[in-house]
Structure 1
Amino acid sequence: MKDFKRLIVWQKSFRLFIDCHKFCRKLPPEEKYELGSQLRRAAFSITANVAEGSAKATNPHKKTYLDNALGSAYEVETALLAIIELYPDLKTVCEINLGICIEVQKMLNALIIKLS
């Protein structure tokens, strides 16, 4: 698992980060530095934790980082749901990102179970 770029969960979460980062440019100015910043940091945290965990020697250590990545994925989901409620005109784009986020969550859950 050392070559994290080959992990499908990393690839999907990296794509999610890029998409969320671009999406945040569409947020109203008052949200770009609040909710947008939180969304970008949480999305990046998923990929960073998957990458960092892949370098760990033992399954319990890897699992810790995947647990952190999963927590960040739930944070991304929450931010996207909040944006849908606050800005219904952004719903379509948010729902696409939500679908990817939920897919990443399922993949992380499967990896965590496998390492347990």
Structure 2
Amino acid sequence: MHNFKELIIWKEAMELAKAVYQASSLFPLNEKYGLTSQINRSAVSVPSNIAEGAGRGSDKEFNQFLNIALGSAFELETQLLLAHAFGFITEERLKELLGPLRKIQRMID
């Protein structure tokens, strides 16, 4: 069992989730139950699965939850690319979010 609060990857995923929430708060109101909600859920899923896996009793289970977190990270990347394509976030903001996200993906992989 790992103390998730001490894991660098968890801390970075938490910071990314906060940044994603800030960015998505500027999306159009009609996206509240669409892309905004989906992006926020994906962003929260990454650190949540890292924490859940860390609380499991074996490294095998921890790795399983890291793989789930990785899937959520790729889902989030896709949604951020869509948000940019729809004009909800700028190219600059996209790069600011994708940098840390890709670092997290590499840390898990």
TM-score (norm 2): 0.93
Match of 1:17 in 2: 17
1:69-108 to 2 correspondences below 5 Å: 69-87=69-87, 90-108=90-108
Q: CA deviation at 1:22?
A: 1.1
- In percent, how many aligned pairs have the same letter? 33
- In the TM superposition, residue 89 of structure 1 has moved relative to its aligned partner by 5.3
Q: 1:40-91 CA deviation, whole Å, 9 max, x = no partner?
A: 0001000000001001111111111000000000011000111111107522
Question: CA distance change for structure 1 residues 89 and 54 in 2, over 3 Å: closer, same or farther?
Answer: closer
Which residue of structure 1 lines up, in the alignment, with residue 33 of structure 2?
33
Query: Partners in 1 of 2:37 and 2:76 — Cα distance?
Result: 11
Instruction: Give the 4+ runs in structure 1 shifted more than 6 A.
Output: none
Say which SS state the counterpart of residue 26 (structure 1) adopts.
Answer: coil
**Structure 1 residues 100 and 87: alpha-carbon distance in aligned structure 2, compared to 1, 3 A threshold:** same
Structure richer in helix, relative to its length: 1
Query: Contact 1:24/1:32 (CA < 8 Å) preserved in 2?
Result: no
Would the aligned equivalents of 2:23 and 2:89 in 1 still touch at CA under 8 Å? no
SS in 1 for 2:90: helix
TM-score, with length taken from structure 1: 0.88
Residue correspondences, number: 109
The question of whether the paired residues in 2 share the 8 Å contact of 1:10 and 1:51 is answered with yes
Q: Tell me, which stretches of 5 or more residues in structure 1 are unaligned?
A: 110-116
Quote the RMSD (CA, aligned, Å).
1.3
